A and B are shown apart, each in its own frame.
Chain A
Amino acid sequence: MIKHILVVDDEKDIRMLFKDELVDAGYGVLLAESGKEALEKLREHKIDLLILDLRMPDMDGIEVLQQVRESDKELPIIVCTAVRGLKDDYSIWEGNVSAFITKPLDLDELRKKVDEILAK
């Protein structure tokens, strides 16, 4: 059965990049351009993996993460950010995030991580 990934990023081109890449990799891809939209789509669809940008105009990734975790403790989440070192700086990630990807990302690495997480 095909696995579905929700990609949340405020930039259209990046959403498109993820979509093309992950579709090529054999996944179903849904896109959200804001935190609000992301939460809606999570309610409406069965999502197997969330790829979350941390910096968005309406609410930041951390807020989205917290709200998601209130209802879903199991959903795997990949945090995708342009800022380095966040992994070490906050304890909030502990147990909540499956992987970190820093922008600009390497598509091969993305595939590898996604495959690993969804193969479990």
Chain B
Amino acid sequence: MAGRVKQGKGAPKMAELSQHPKKWRVLHKISLAMNSCLSSRELLQLLVREAVNLLKADSSVIFLLGEDGKTLEANVVAGRDKKAMKRVSVQVGDGIIGWVAKTGRPQFIPDVTKDNRYLLVVEGIRSEATVPLIAGDRVIGVLNVESRKTKAFDKIDLELLTMFASQAARVLENARVYEDTNRRYRQIQALYEVQQTMVETLDFERVLSLIAEKVVEVMEVKASSIRLLDPDGEELVIAASHNLSRRYLHKGRVKLKESFIDQEALKGNLVSIIEVADDERFVFREEARAEGVHSLLCAPLRVENEAMGVIRVYTDMRRSFSDDEQKLLSTFAGQAALIIKNAKLYKEWGERGFQLTRSQSKLKEVREALIKKEKLAALGQMAARVAHEIRNPLTSIRGFSQRLFRKMEGREGQRYAEIIIGEVDRLNRVISDILDFARPLQPELKMTDMNELMREVLDLVEIEGSHITLKKKFSTNLPMAMVDRQHIKQALLNLIHNGIEAMAEGGDLLIGTESANGAVLVRITDSGPGIAKEVRGRIFEPFFTTKARGTGLGLALANKIIESHNGKIEVESKQGRGATFTILLPEGRE
């Protein structure tokens, strides 16, 4: 460890300095620079450069004490190969530099070859002067000047160097305070951003992931995770993370009682681990090694006495966390906990609000269903009337066309008459579809073997010459269903025709039956172009169609029939990969 400073020993008198006006000028220049807007790095460089000039040295180096308090590292260099020097470090106590750091006493060595403390770093140095950099009462580094000549420095030089050193220490101290303030500012800024997001989005998950992101920024670490206590209080579940791989996040779960780190953290203690891969307290050591995380700091997320979870930060190199860093994470975690708690409250409120909205929308649904029913009843009456009004003229058109057709035997007009008849039949089918759909369904339920019914339906399906291959896969153990045979036949036919029409170029039509959880399932799968996501929700709407020639009532009627049996139709489709309609009908009970 670097020593405490013993003041005053060997300090030169001001009178001696006053005999060196040039030196005063340099000091003045430096004190002006100190008040300028130069960065701390620029100031330190100016200091070492001026030290070389003023003391007619060959080189000058500032060594700074590392965070471990044991190692001095070359930080600012003048007059030497900077890159080479940057890699030089000295242990406190070793060499002259280490001695000065340890004792806090300035030294000048007229001939290094005659001082057995001297460690050779660079060839050709004969004399040097070394002074400690002192902040408060602690040595934070060393300022060193060197010369290739012996006896290059005297007591006055040493005193000048001490003044340089005190300026350098001031710069470093300012930089530290600045860095500290800056860090605190960044922390406040980060927390503010999190809070802002919470207010803006009220989105719990986003708030958590933002906290995870910001803690990495503020703590200058590799990754982070936020783990929240589950409602039973038995497990901590990862609620958000930053920079951790999916694989690492899915490494598995640990019960709280098996995790020492989490237990300690939930008690309100910080847990710091230098190498998680080697530490018994850490459960997923191999996974951590694979992930490339080394040191861990874990802080509790607590509001008052309520422990909600923990926040963890991971480094990508092995290191200890300084007191400042621990304090920082603690503070951050405290603030984050408050935000998380608020966000959680918002979320719960939001959910309650959502439920409210949901029951409102349920009400709306019922109301809409009623309106729809009324509309359909009206539609039924209207459809019957319209059908009548249209079918009567169609009767005339078709009948007279048919008579024309006969009279035009062998003439061009016969083809025209044929077309008219065909179009009348088409119009009539549209009206039939509308009437079928509008008519209230009153199913007559009978115990039915759906496999048998399906076979009857398939007898009615014409696929010859259509390049469609029919594949059947009927369950041999199918329960009976209570259905209106005619209605269900109609529904299945409509669905099958829909599938066939989707495969104009041919394809596979797969018909299957299955049983599942008290339901009888019929699946109809085509290999057509599939149903676009945008229209999937609308295919059962009456009059909705994507076909050039369709009333848009086939699927609507099928759905209406299945719903009248308390069943439902589910649709699965990927665009370009066909569609599957699954009809679920309740199992029949005698």
Binding site for B on A (CB under 8 A): 11, 13-14, 17, 20-21, 55, 82-85, 103-108
Contacts and interface: CB of A to CB of B under 8 A. Distances in A.
Contact of B394 (A20, A84, A85, A104): A104
Contacts of B388: 55, 82-83
Contact of A21 (B387, B397, B403, B439): B403
Interface in B420-441: 424-425, 428, 432, 435, 439
A104 B397 contact: yes
A32 to B, nearest CB: 16
A112 B393 CA distance: 22
Contacts of B403: 17, 20-21, 107
Nearest to B442: A89
A13 B391 CA distance: 13
B387 A104 contact: no
B395 A103 contact: yes
B384 interface: yes
Contacts of B396: 11, 13-14, 17
Interface string B375-408: 0000000001001100111111111101100000
Contacts of B397: 104
Contact of A105 (B384, B387, B393, B395): B395
A117 B569 CA distance: 46
A21 B399 contact: yes
B387 A83 contact: yes
5 contacts: A83-B435, A103-B392, A104-B399, A105-B399, A107-B403
Nearest to A101: B395
A35 to B, nearest CB: 16
B399 A17 contact: yes
A107 B387 contact: no
A37 to B, nearest CB: 18
A84 to B, nearest CB: 6
Given A21-B399, A107-B402, A14 B432 contact: no
The 3 A-B pairs at the shortest CB distance, nearest first, are namely A82-B391, A104-B394, A17-B399
Contacts of B398: 104-106
Contacts of A107: 399, 402-403
B431 to A, nearest CB: 9
B421 to A, nearest CB: 9
Nearest to A108: B402
Contact of A104 (B428, B435, B439): B428
Given A83-B384, A84-B435, A85-B439, A104 B400 contact: no
A6 to B, nearest CB: 18
A66 to B, nearest CB: 21
A14 B387 CA distance: 16
Q: Which of B384, B399, B400 has the most CB of A within 10 A?
A: B399
Contacts of B393: 13
B482 to A, nearest CB: 20
A33 to B, nearest CB: 13
Given A104-B424, A104-B428, A82 B392 contact: yes
Nearest to B486: A88
A119 to B, nearest CB: 22
A106 B397 CA distance: 11
Contacts, number: 52
Contacts of A103: 391-392, 394-395
- SS class, residues of chain B in contact with chain A: helix
B402 A84 contact: no
A104 to B, nearest CB: 4
A105 B403 CA distance: 12
Interface in B427-465: 428, 432, 435, 439
Contacts of A104: 391, 394-395, 397-399, 424-425, 428
B392 A14 contact: yes
Nearest to A105: B395
Given A104-B394, A104-B395, A104-B425, 6 more contacts: A14-B395, A17-B400, A21-B399, A82-B392, A83-B387, A107-B399
Contacts of B399: 14, 17, 21, 104-105, 107
A104 B391 CA distance: 6
Nearest to B428: A104
Contacts of A20: 403
Contacts of A84: 432, 435
Q: Which of A11, A13, A17, A103 has the most CB of B within 10 A?
A: A103
A111 B587 CA distance: 47
B396 to A, nearest CB: 4
B387 A82 contact: yes
A13 B393 CA distance: 8
A103 to B, nearest CB: 4
Contacts of A11: 392, 396
A82 B431 CA distance: 10
Nearest to B398: A104
A106 B425 CA distance: 10
A108 B399 CA distance: 10
A8 to B, nearest CB: 14
A107 B398 CA distance: 9
B520 to A, nearest CB: 26
Contacts of A17: 395-396, 399-400, 403
Contacts of B391: 82, 103-104
B287 to A, nearest CB: 69
A94 to B, nearest CB: 18
Contacts of A106: 398, 402
Contacts of A105: 395, 398-399
A103 B394 CA distance: 8
A21 B399 CA distance: 9
A104 B390 CA distance: 9
Contacts of A14: 392, 395-396, 399
B19 to A, nearest CB: 126
Q: Which of A17, A21, A82 has the most CB of B within 10 A?
A: A82
Contacts of B387: 82-83
Nearest to A80: B395
Nearest to A107: B402
Nearest to A13: B396
B148 to A, nearest CB: 117
A27 to B, nearest CB: 15
Contacts of A83: 384, 387-388, 435
